[in-house]
């Protein structure tokens, strides 16, 4: 889902007063990236000249044929990243109605509509939260992941009790998204689960747990954050299956996310590692992020 995932949820969450450096710093859950970007190259070329409005896409979702509904839902989810589109307050109730009307076997449409709802400015309307919550038990894993991401973007602490049990899933993608969502939501009810997630077998789940705790002002994740600042460790852990035409450095992304969390936490024990990165790391992006972190840390 930018970062579905992520990053977007953190960027628009008004419940955390943090320096600009630390506002967008969660690792993007890869499952949502796959959902939102996986069809981009093949499908986007077919609609490159498509300039329909959000309401026109919604009409296509409601009334179009099976081969047009999911592309329309995809384009709608993409449009919702535009603040000008989100400023249309008639979209929220229309989105919720369309989402609730989708049949369970039409999983792609449901996924993209969940992403579109999650991009609404928080707090989400209560009917949107209810509709998303009712879909948490969906059989399709990707639909559940999209719904969890959207609930993490809702700004509604009341959904935390519904998300907590999902951390017990055997699906790494679901656990990763649950931790992401719990970290983006306000309150302390999720702290125990986030602390448990620091020991998760999946590295990116542990990383998001450490970031979430740092964002909430808790230092238990410092050892994990230290690992995120260790280039050798990250290089041995992060997969490099990145498209050649993408301007992405997944190793730098992990390190920068860690640096932003460290800046928010302002833990002096990590300052030497940040200083070293600011002077010696091979990535200029990492060096710049380290310099900015040092400024915030004082």
In order along its 298 residues, the chain shows pLDDT tens digits of 433 333 333 333 322 322 232 334 456 554 454 454 444 444 544 444 567 899 999 999 999 888 899 999 999 999 999 999 998 989 999 999 999 999 877 889 999 999 999 999 989 999 999 999 999 987 788 899 999 999 999 999 999 999 999 999 999 999 999 999 999 999 999 999 999 999 999 999 999 999 999 999 999 999 999 999 999 999 999 876 554 545 678 999 999 999 999 999 999 999 999 999 999 999 999 999 999 999 999 8
Residues 156 and 204 in one domain: no
Same domain, 46 and 182: yes
Residue 27: per-residue pLDDT: 61
Domain boundary among 158, 187, 216: 187
Asked if residue 141 and residue 221 are part of one domain, the reply reads no
- CATH assignment at residue 261: 1.25.10.10
82 and 134 part of one domain: yes
Same domain? For 16 and 139 the reply is yes
One domain for residues 154 and 204: no
Same domain for 155 and 225, yes or no, is no
Where residue 174 sits, what CATH number does that domain have? 1.25.10
Select from 135, 156, 187 the last residue of a domain.
187
Are 103 and 219 part of one and the same domain? no
Give the model's pLDDT for residue 17. Answer: 28
pLDDT of residue 177: 94
Whether 176 and 219 map to the same domain: the answer is no
Same domain, 109 and 140: yes
**Domain end (from 136, 155, 187):** 187
pLDDT at position 128, please?
A: 94
Are 296 and 167 within one domain?
no
- Number of structural domains the chain divides into: 2
- Segments forming the whole domain that contains residue 204: 196-298
Question: In this structure, are 42 and 116 located in the same domain?
Answer: yes
For every residue of the chain, which 3-state class applies, written as one string? Answer: CCCCCCHHHHHHCCCCCCCHHHCCCCCCCHHHHHHHHCCHHHHHCCCCCCCCCHHHHHHHHHHCCHHHHHHHHHHHHHHCCCHHHHCCCCHHHHHHHHHHHCCCCCHHHHHHHHHHHHCCCCCCCHHHHHHHHCCCCCCCHHHHHHHHHHHHCCCCHHHHHHHHHHHHCCCHHHHHHHHHHHHHCCCCCCHHHHHHHCCCCCHHHHHHHHHHHHHCCCCCCHHHHHHHCCHHHHHHHCCCCCCCCCCCCHHHHHHHHHHHHHHHHCCHHHHHHHHHHHHHCCCHHHHHHHHHHHHHHC
């Amino acid at each position: 889902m930018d970062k579905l995932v992520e990053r977007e949820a953190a960027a628009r969450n008004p419940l955390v007063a943090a320096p600009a450096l630390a506002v967008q710093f969660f690792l993007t859950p890869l499952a949502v990236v796959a959902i939102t970007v996986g069809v981009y190259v093949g499908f986007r070329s077919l609609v490159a000249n498509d300039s329909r409005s959000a309401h026109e896409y919604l009409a296509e979702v409601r009334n179009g044929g099976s081969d047009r509904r999911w592309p329309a839902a995809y384009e709608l989810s993409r449009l919702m990243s535009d603040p000008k589109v989100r400023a249309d307050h008639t979209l929220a109730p229309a989105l919720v109605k369309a989402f609730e009307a989708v049949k369970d076997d039409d999983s792609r449409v449901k996924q993209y509509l969940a992403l579109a709802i999650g991009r609404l400015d928080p707090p989400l309307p209560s009917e949107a939260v209810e509709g998303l919550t009712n879909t948490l038990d969906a059989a399709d894993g990707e639909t559940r992941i999209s719904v969890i991401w959207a609930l993490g973007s809702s700004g509604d602490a009341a959904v935390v009790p519904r998300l907590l049990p999902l951390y017990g899933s055997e699906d790494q993608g679901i656990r990763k998204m649950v931790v992401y969502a719990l970290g983006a939501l306000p309150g302390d009810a999720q702290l125990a689960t986030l602390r448990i997630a620091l020991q998760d077998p999946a590295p990116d789940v542990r990383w998001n747990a450490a970031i979430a705790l740092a964002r909430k002002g808790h230092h238990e994740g410092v050892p994990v954050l230290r690992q995120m600042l260790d280039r050798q460790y990250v290089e041995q852990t992060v997969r490099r299956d990145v498209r050649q035409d993408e301007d992405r450095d997944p190793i730098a992304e992990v390190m920068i996310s860690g640096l932003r969390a460290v800046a928010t936490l302002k833990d002096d024990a990590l300052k030497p590692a940040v200083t070293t990165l600011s002077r010696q790391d091979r990535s200029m992006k990492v060096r710049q992020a380290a310099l900015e972190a040092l400024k915030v840390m004082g």
